[in-house]
Amino acid sequence: PAQALIFDLDGVLTDTAQTHYRAWKRMADEEGLPFDQHVNEQLKGVDRMSSLEIILRHAGRTLSAEQKQALAERKNGYYVEAIAEVTPKDLFPGVARVLEQARARGLKLGLASASRNAAALLDRLGIAGRFDYIADAARIDRAKPAPDIFLDVAAALGVAPARCIGIEDAAAGVAAIKSAGMAAIGIGDATTLAQADACLADIAAFDVDAFVSP
Ligand code: BG6
Ligand code: MG
């Protein structure tokens, strides 16, 4: 049976996948870079600089390292500004119940977010204390879809990957979970997340007891 749940954050526990999108879109519009929700699908779960690279490639724009740094920082400024308004009310419905169900079953809880803003966002959401371990994206070698961040969390929790369930809204994240040798629950579109072992429309549809046999 599973012994740990490892959650992604943005787009799984709260709607910040959209907040990231709006921050990128604001920067892209200012720079005249064509960017839309369709391109944004490829950005989900991807780290900050790689996300900018995807936007630039799609727009056919080449920039210097300094220019890229400046654009990534500008986007992050917009994002940080937006999450300063986040409160526990912004948790997706069902999150508190899922965390309680997991705790009641004695499961370890980990967080595997690619975001350097994850700790601050968890604080704003009021759930930082609910996790046994929160990965620091800045200290992870290879970003999703590499398995590194999920393996880091499993090791810190002291649970074998085969006993972990990863929960992700991004194709890159589901790929990372699978390559870590874990079971994957996709949150969102089953076609986009075809690699997941199970796919749910949203976290509210996650019944921990149904997934974790006693
Ligand atoms: C991921 C998001 O969780 O974090 C991506 O899905 C985002 O959209 C990435 O780019 C990095 O976030 P940050 O806050 O470090 O720029
Ligand atoms: Mg996500």
At 18-58, the pLDDT tens digits run 999 999 999 999 999 999 999 999 999 999 999 999 999 99
Average pLDDT over residues 191-212: 95
Q: How many CB atoms lie within 10 A of CB 88?
A: 12
What residues contact 189, with CB distance under 8 A and at least 6 apart?
199
How far does residue 159's CA lie from ligand 2's centre (Å)? 22
Average pLDDT over residues 65-78: 98
Answer whether residue 12 shows pLDDT above 90. yes
* Confidence at residue 141, expressed as pLDDT on a 0 to 100 scale: 94
Answer whether residue 181 shows pLDDT above 70. yes
For the CA of 24, the nearest ligand: 1
At 90-128, the pLDDT tens digits run 999 999 999 999 999 999 999 999 999 999 999 999 999
What integer best gives the mean pLDDT of the chain? 97
Cα 29–Cα 87–Cα 46 angle in degrees, nearest 5? 45
Ligand 1: atom nearest CA of 113 is 3
* Confidence at residue 212, expressed as pLDDT on a 0 to 100 scale: 84
Which residue among 15, 54, 76, 115 has the greatest number of ligand 1 atoms within 8 angstroms of its CB, and so is best to mutate?
Answer: 115
- Largest interatomic CA distance in the chain: 55
* Confidence at residue 70, expressed as pLDDT on a 0 to 100 scale: 98
Q: Specify the pTM.
A: 0.96
To the nearest 10°, report the CA torsion of 95, 98, 102, 104: 110
Interface predicted TM-score (ipTM): 0.98
For the CA of 53, the nearest ligand: 1
- Of residues 171, 168, 164, 213, the one with CA closest to residue 195: 171
Q: What's the order of all strands across the beta sheet hosting 164-168? A: 133-134, 108-111, 4-7, 164-168, 183-187, 198-200
